[in-house]
Structure 1
Amino acid sequence: MKLKKWIAQEIKYIEVNIANLKIKIEDYQAAIKNVQLKKREVGRKKADNREQHERYDNEIAMYQARIESLKSNISVCKRSITNVKDLEKMKPVRLKTGAVINSKIIDEMLKKLSGKEWSIEYTQYQDGLQITYVNTRTGSKGSFKVYLIAVISDTIDLPIFEKGDVKECSIHS
């Protein structure tokens, strides 16, 4: 599958998820209105109906907490859409380790290493990838960290970076 098609599918999936979350919020808001009506029917809070009022107040608070949680999920989904859209601009590359990174970073690294005897080590962390390059003659090292762009399926067509020897690759999930 082409990256552009995958990006379009991901965005559509996230937008459907946002729409479903908004529907749930509307349902909880309707439930709050129903509970408020029941609470009004009971009348003013007195000694004999105190328990009912407290039960209704607790029910309203529960619905409001669920609404806030859903609103938070919507914010996360909107940030995900932005991140997925940014992928298209960045032209990601898949490394032999399976990590996906921005091709500009690979180009930058290769310019530094061109014409020299280097080996390249990758260490993958939960939030990114550490790329270390070692001069095989002198032993001198250099490194930089790349943050993972997103989890892109292996079925997505990306250029594959296969230069250098992979000395280390530890994946933490």
Structure 2
Amino acid sequence: MKFNEWISQEIKRYEVEIKDFKNTIEVRQVDLKSEQQQKREIGRKNDSNSNLHEQADIKISIIKSHIESLKSKIYVCNNRITEVKNLNKMKPVRLKSGAVVNSKIVDEMLKKLTGKFWSIEFTQYQDGLQIAYINTRTGSKGSFKVYLMAVISDAVDLPVFEKGEVKECSIHS
């Protein structure tokens, strides 16, 4: 699958999720109004109906928390749509090991190594992909931190980064 197709599919998938969450919120708001009306019909709270009032309060509280949870999920989906749209600007590439990185960062690293022999080592940390380069002629070392991008499916065709040679690769989750 082409990268642009994948981006379109991801955006559509999140938009469908958002629509489903909004529909569920509408249903839950109707339920909330119904529960609030039933509580009003019980009448003022007194010794004989205090149990009914407590049950109504619990139901109302549960519905409200479900609505807030759905709103939070909509917020997360909107953020993911933004992340996926931003991937186009990053021009991701796949390293020989399968890790996906922002090609602009790798290009910056290569500019510093022009005309030198080198290899790449990288380790994936929780907060980002750390790329370390080793200049094999001089033995000097350096590193670049590349922050993780959204997970890109293996089925997506990305250019493979082949300049240099990946000699060591360790990926830790």
Contact (CA 8 Å) 1:99, 1:148: kept in 2 or not? no
| Aligned residue type for 2:172 | I
Which aligned pairs between 1:27-66 and structure 2 lie closer than 5 A?
27-66=27-66
Task: Find the aligned partners of 2:113 and 2:165 in 1 and give their Cα distance.
Answer: 10
Q: Which amino acid aligns with 2:66?
A: R
Q: How does 1:43-122 map to 2 (within 5 A)?
A: 43-122=43-122
After superposition, the CA RMSD in angstroms is 1.3
Query: In structure 1, how many angstroms separate the alpha carbons of the residues matched to 2:54 and 2:60?
Result: 10
- Percentage of pairs with the same residue: 60
Identify the residue that residue 172 of structure 2 maps to in structure 1.
171
| More strand by percentage | 2
Q: Is the 8 A contact 2:97 2:169 kept in 1?
A: no
**Which letter maps to 1:153?**
S
CA distance in 2 between partners of 1:117 and 1:39 (Å): 77
How much does 1:127 deviate? Answer: 3.3
CA distance in 2, matches of 1:27, 1:85: 31
- Displacement after TM superposition at 1:24 (Å): 1.1
Q: Check conservation: 1:134, 1:141, Cα contact below 8 A.
A: yes
Q: Could you tell me whether the CA contact under 8 Å between 1:122 and 1:166 is conserved in 2?
A: no
Gaps of 5+ in 2: none
How many residues get paired?
Answer: 172
Q: Residues 127 and 98 (structure 1 numbering): CA distance in 2 closer, same or farther, change over 3 Å?
A: farther
Q: One-letter code of the match for 1:26?
A: E
TM-score scaled to structure 2, two decimals? 0.94
Q: Distance in 1 between matches of 2:145 and 2:119?
A: 16
Where do 4+ consecutive residues of structure 1 move more than 4 Å?
none
5+ residue gaps in structure 1? none
* Alignment of structure 1 residues 118-133 onto 2, 5 Å: 118-133=118-133
Aligned partners of 1:156 and 1:127: how far apart in 2?
A: 23
Partner residue in 2 for 1:144:
144
